[in-house]
Structure 1
């Protein structure tokens, strides 16, 4: 291997590595998407040119066919009029026009085939363009996710390396201790208060408030007064029926016997 070849290879490896290091895949993919989209108008312009050629050839074919028809009619008219010389001149023009018509039709066939092929190429290009754009967008989204994951990983590493984990746990422990002290003070304060007396007072206040509301309802006619309990009726007096004469005599006799 010559010295010059080795030198060129060294230069390519040196600058190639530098260029590769400067390349940003995200920016390159975005540029590729823009270039793919920019190619569509150019392709449409080329297809329009092919279509215009087809239209021109179709008009030329129609014009030649009309000219052939006119020449045939003139030849027939000249023959009927006995002017073979004029018919011969028209016959020569007819022959040239038919040759031109045949060539134009052949060109039209090629132009139409080229137009159909251009449309097929365009459809294939659009499908491939859409596939490449979707692939590039997915790669860009994956790149963004990877960048976010890298930031999270850096943050976790900083927690561990910079001593943030230890500080974090220490602050949490201090807050827990302060919370425990506050709860203990609250329990001591509650122990020194007669909760039962407070509860009784609260219940009494609720009963008094309910009675006041009931009085208001009585005054407003929303409640009927409670009926008072009825007094007990006096027991009926026992009446002594008069004894019959026989029974009275027996009673007196028994009293005397005693």
Structure 2
């Protein structure tokens, strides 16, 4: 019984709303414009977040690429100088840096893909709103249609110019997230920096030796040619 009454009430309200919209198409236009504004706000927030993430990842990738070049050069230099322990330590750090670099590149690819999908979804929503406005033309005079169309065009163009500027609050959130990511990365990398001083444990030495062997193989370096010749 209660369900039937609820259905009757929803039907009645729906007919009343439809009647109001037929008599005053501007009311429906206002509803569509409000819906579009909310959608644009949501899309702008998502676009700003992904744009910030992409920029942060690109900055981190450039830093890791520079670190990779430096570690590679240091490993090779110490190997040529017969500083095997130091070379192994740098080779081990080089492996870790390359793994982080690969992970960041994968994350950047995913973030850029999501960014493009959000732009596409935004454009589809704006186009759908434009179609709905076209359907309301019969209930509005020419002046009102032109004003509504101009407002919609302004809203649509705002979705492009406002990307990355969703407000000071959003910027602060992005900065805090970025700082937390950097702190987490720093905590992850700190144990590796200990190996730079010396490799004391046998397990660490074995891993470093393996990393050195892989580095030598990848670089095509001949260890025999670098070993000091014994005095006769």
Taking structure 1 as the reference length, what is the TM-score of the superposition?
0.47
Cα shift at 1:21: 5.5
Runs of 4+ with >6 A deviation: none
Alignment partner, residue 31 of structure 1: 30
Cα shift at 1:31: 1.5
Inter-CA distance 138–33: structure 2 relative to 1 (3 Å threshold): farther
Alignment partner, residue 112 of structure 1: 112
Alignment partner, residue 64 of structure 1: 64
Moved more, 113-122 or 128-137: 128-137
Moved more, 93-102 or 117-126: 117-126
Inter-CA distance 54–27: structure 2 relative to 1 (3 Å threshold): same
Inter-CA distance 9–44: structure 2 relative to 1 (3 Å threshold): closer
Q: Distance in 1 between matches of 2:18 and 2:116?
A: 42
Flag structure 2 segments of 5+ consecutive residues without an equivalent. Answer: 145-232
Mapping 1:37-186, distance limit 5 Å: 37-38=36-37, 39-141=39-141
User: For 1:19-42, what per-residue CA distance to the aligned partner results, in whole angstroms no more than 9, with x for missing partners?
Assistant: 656665424313224214423344
Inter-CA distance 10–122: structure 2 relative to 1 (3 Å threshold): closer
Rg larger in structure: 1
Coordinate RMSD, CA, aligned: 2.8
Flag structure 1 segments of 5+ consecutive residues without an equivalent. Answer: 145-258
Q: Which of 1 and 2 has higher RCO (CA within 8 Å, sep 6+)? A: 2
Moved more, 33-42 or 125-134: 33-42
Taking structure 2 as the reference length, what is the TM-score of the superposition?
0.52
Inter-CA distance 5–27: structure 2 relative to 1 (3 Å threshold): same
Cα shift at 1:77: 1.0
Q: Distance in 2 between matches of 1:14 and 1:130?
A: 29
Cα shift at 1:107: 0.5
Q: Is the partner of 2:82 in helix, strand or coil? A: coil
Q: Is the partner of 1:54 in helix, strand or coil? A: helix
Mapping 1:184-195, distance limit 5 Å: none
Size of the alignment, in residue pairs? 141
Q: Distance in 2 between matches of 1:13 and 1:116?
A: 40
